[in-house]
Structure 1
Amino acid sequence: MIPFPKGLSRTPAARPGPLGPVADAPHGFGGTWLAVGLMSGTSMDGIDAAIIETDGETVVGVGPSLTLPYDDAFRDRLRAMLGRTSLDDEDGRRLHRDLALRHAEAVRALLKGSEVTPDLIGFHGHTLWHDPKAGVTVQAGDPALLARELGVPVVADLRQADVAAGGEGAPLVPIYHAALAEGLDRPLVVLNIGGVANVTWIGKRGPKDLIAFDTGPGNGPLDDWVARHTGEPCDRDGRLAAAGSLDEVRLLRLMDHAYFARPAPKSLDRKDFDHVPGIVEGLSLEDGATTLTAFIVAAVVQSATHLPRSPVRWVVTGGGRHNPVLMDTLTGWLGAPVQPVEAVGWNGDALEAQAFAFLAARHRRNLPITFPGTTGAPEPMTGGRLYRP
């Protein structure tokens, strides 16, 4: 565990704010869908695909999942396109097409050897730019092409309506977390540590009691630091962080960012912390890894000040849960039980992909996918657009 820095305070939990009601579900639907969910996340490691059976309110069954990794050349293409606010040029159109074709390949690989034909596909695409204050969120990946390739209806464009209404457009997964958490002791926090990190606080009323927001950088700056110095994609097993020392002065500079003082709900673009390399520049490889790992945890600790009550435990999904130094430091600094989501029977490698399958089903039932407490939307909002083959 990284020692807790003297200059960082654990502020008491904030008082609860208005969460907003969840609209009642339409009546008269008694069926379920087999839905495939697809996710290409901020870590840019590949495409996650998963299949579930759901009616958009409960998860009836969970099927197989897989990750189709990106090759280095394609990852470099994606990285070069981050920050694009439009796909209306040759490079943008080519990426839009190629991402859809790679997602079609992931679905075919997921279904290979099975007799299953999905009813729906929930497609996130890959976020290139997310600036809700400017009313802009841009995802690459052509959903119409994906529907034609697979012959299955595709639900996509899931962030746009929320952003247009003044919401953050992120995170989208909390309503799925709430569905899975039925039967678990609450309040419960689900912490997702991907390229960006976010939390879902689930109160005792489940879907009617949600708060969610991005805590700050996840693995993104740490992965970039390790890749730049070693060529490796990440700090495997936290070995570099375990060998380094925390630079407390630089950590406090990292935490001196206006984002952390903003009230929740709030969301980030991966590039919002592009200044980070300049702050850690000059540190050794190991000390940089230690300090950036501590930065992830410090942002999570600060996020707890926005929660109405302390949770009975934190469950962690995303790639960060595989880093034992990160997990041990979270446990020590939060002073609460911290476990990977597998401890409650969830599959952390498939969770986000499953969530987009769930959101596709909610779209078909005209159920809300974002809420005042999760994105700052003015009311519970439906979202997404259906693309038919």
Structure 2
Amino acid sequence: MPDRELYIGLMSGTSADSIDAVLADLSDGQHRLLATFSCEIADLKNDIHELATPGPNEISRMGQLDRELGIRFANAVNTLLHRESINSSQVIAVGSHGQTIRHLPPERGNNIHPFTLQIGDPNTIAHLTGITTVADFRRRDIALGGQGAPLTPLFHRAAFEKPGTPRVIINIGGIANITLLYGDGVSSPLGYDTGPGNGLMDSWILQCLGEAYDDNGQWASEGRVIHPLLEQFLKTPYLLKSPPKSTGRELFNPKWLSQQLIRFGDSMEPADLQATLLEFTAQTISASVRKSHKPIAEAYLCGGGANNGALVSRISALLEPIQVSTTEALGILPGWVEGMAFAWLAQQTLAGKPGNEPTVTGASTASVLGAIHPA
């Protein structure tokens, strides 16, 4: 169809489980999800996570991983197009989030330069796909004094806002974030990282059972919440900060968890800790929604955490009487919302339109984001 505006969005999140690719039609202000493809990158997960903290030979390891991920991203695009019988010439651009390996946003009293770094070489993607690739979306916002995250709220507003209905979009990846959409025609969207999403639970079940994730929260459901430990978790300074704020695996990681457990010894049941981590995620998300300066009528979940039935049930209970559903009810399956967001951000960049929201990130101004790598 000649009137379609086809874009591809690529996403690999904090959990580093997979590369997600979406094919979207963004013509006429619409957000049509046409096709998807996902491929695991389990063999790269340790390498990715090891680069989240300082270590030996970082530049060489990063350079190799940057190229390898660029190839994997390109392969995901080409596989998606092959399956859908779409020629690369029909796609306007690829929007690639890349794989975050370090995120150190502005911090009061800290005299180091804030920075964020995503890898997955966009030059390689553009070359191997033959499609103009837009990437490196976050660093312009950092340069403008912002957090560089989250960047999805403007897309959430474009795709999900409903006049007269205040909503919250809750994205649960390795880290969780929210977007508050007031629907009043006046207020800008608000949003920030609330704290851990699936990341800590994934790390714990991998350590104890060798499983990549807790399927439907089944293991957590077998345990009991350790309330003194939960209370300690909830005192984490990041949670007490006012937005704009963002975080990542640099804070909420296995080392952080080990430090939290020191005074509790080895007597606790592993499933009880999993239950406590699930409750920690649910409470930090729900508390953030409750802090909205206007009442929220509807909540919509997206990201991998939307598939965790135990977590969804707990969030729903904590948010009552707010109606809780997933973004499937709004037309986009929850696992593909972030991929759609970066396809949309590529469109914004090529059109010379802003991709960030200063009320969300704290940047000094709205700006066009990303770097364009021609085919």
Pick aligned residue for 1:107 from 77, 94, 104: 77
Confirm or deny: 8 A CA contact 2:74 2:124 kept in the other structure: no
Q: Secondary structure at the match of 1:44?
A: coil
Q: Match for residue 383 of structure 1?
A: 369
The 1:381/1:75 distance shift into structure 2, 3 A limit, reads: same
1:42 is the counterpart of 2:14: yes
Q: Match for residue 127 of structure 1?
A: 100
Pick aligned residue for 2:68 from 98, 112, 118: 98
Confirm or deny: 8 A CA contact 1:87 1:93 kept in the other structure: no
1:372 is the counterpart of 2:358: yes
Confirm or deny: 8 A CA contact 2:163 2:185 kept in the other structure: no
The 1:387/1:367 distance shift into structure 2, 3 A limit, reads: same
2:284 alignment partner AA: A
The 5 A counterparts of 1:193-232 are 193-205=172-184, 209-232=188-211
Q: Secondary structure at the match of 1:367?
A: coil
The 1:259/1:247 distance shift into structure 2, 3 A limit, reads: same
The 1:84/1:383 distance shift into structure 2, 3 A limit, reads: farther
1:54 is the counterpart of 2:33: no
After superposition, the CA RMSD in angstroms is: 2.0
1:40 alignment partner AA: S
Confirm or deny: 8 A CA contact 2:137 2:370 kept in the other structure: yes
Alpha-carbon distance, 1:137 to partner: 0.4
Structure 2 spans left out of the alignment, 5+ residues: 107-112
The 5 A counterparts of 1:79-94 are 79-83=49-53, 89-94=59-64
1:310 is the counterpart of 2:283: no
Report Cα offsets for 1:311-370 as digits up to 9, x if no partner: 111110011111111111111112222112212222111111111000000001111111
Confirm or deny: 8 A CA contact 1:85 1:129 kept in the other structure: no
Report Cα offsets for 1:279-298 as digits up to 9, x if no partner: 24632121011000000011
Q: Secondary structure at the match of 2:47?
A: helix
Confirm or deny: 8 A CA contact 1:211 1:307 kept in the other structure: no
Partner Cα separation in structure 2 for residue 61 and residue 345 of structure 1: 8
Q: Secondary structure at the match of 2:10?
A: strand
The 1:292/1:206 distance shift into structure 2, 3 A limit, reads: farther
Q: Match for residue 13 of structure 1?
A: none
Partner Cα separation in structure 1 for residue 277 and residue 173 of structure 2: 14
Partner Cα separation in structure 2 for residue 61 and residue 251 of structure 1: 41
The 5 A counterparts of 1:248-263 are 248-263=227-242
Partner Cα separation in structure 2 for residue 356 and residue 346 of structure 1: 14
Confirm or deny: 8 A CA contact 1:185 1:312 kept in the other structure: no
Structure 1 spans left out of the alignment, 5+ residues: 1-30
Q: Match for residue 38 of structure 2?
A: 67
The 1:289/1:136 distance shift into structure 2, 3 A limit, reads: same
Partner Cα separation in structure 2 for residue 86 and residue 165 of structure 1: 31
Partner Cα separation in structure 1 for residue 141 and residue 371 of structure 2: 12
Report Cα offsets for 1:36-55 as digits up to 9, x if no partner: 00001011111000011225
Alpha-carbon distance, 1:32 to partner: 6.3
Higher mean C-alpha deviation, range 213-222 or range 181-190: 181-190
Confirm or deny: 8 A CA contact 1:264 1:306 kept in the other structure: no
Q: Match for residue 109 of structure 2?
A: none
| Larger relative contact order (Cα-Cα within 8 Å, sequence gap ≥ 6) | 1
Q: Match for residue 78 of structure 1?
A: 48
The 1:271/1:32 distance shift into structure 2, 3 A limit, reads: same
Partner Cα separation in structure 1 for residue 129 and residue 57 of structure 2: 23
1:131 alignment partner AA: L
Normalised by the length of structure 1, the TM-score is 0.87
Report Cα offsets for 1:18-67 as digits up to 9, x if no partner: xxxxxxxxxxxxx8631100001011111000011225x82253210121
Report Cα offsets for 1:53-91 as digits up to 9, x if no partner: 225x822532101211113x2212212222359997321
1:354 is the counterpart of 2:340: yes
Alpha-carbon distance, 1:310 to partner: 2.3
Higher mean C-alpha deviation, range 203-212 or range 299-308: 203-212
Q: Match for residue 23 of structure 1?
A: none
Q: Secondary structure at the match of 2:315?
A: helix
1:315 alignment partner AA: Y
Q: Secondary structure at the match of 1:102?
A: helix
Pick aligned residue for 1:298 from 283, 286, 301: 283
Confirm or deny: 8 A CA contact 1:189 1:201 kept in the other structure: yes
The 5 A counterparts of 1:261-300 are 261-274=240-253, 275-280=256-261, 282=266, 283-300=268-285
Partner Cα separation in structure 1 for residue 303 and residue 163 of structure 2: 20
Alpha-carbon distance, 1:306 to partner: 3.6
Q: Percent identity?
A: 31
Alpha-carbon distance, 1:371 to partner: 1.3
Partner Cα separation in structure 2 for residue 306 and residue 182 of structure 1: 19
Partner Cα separation in structure 1 for residue 358 and residue 343 of structure 2: 22
1:249 alignment partner AA: P
Across the two proteins, how many residue pairs are aligned to each other? 357
Partner Cα separation in structure 2 for residue 88 and residue 164 of structure 1: 23
Q: Secondary structure at the match of 1:119?
A: strand
Partner Cα separation in structure 2 for residue 292 and residue 77 of structure 1: 25
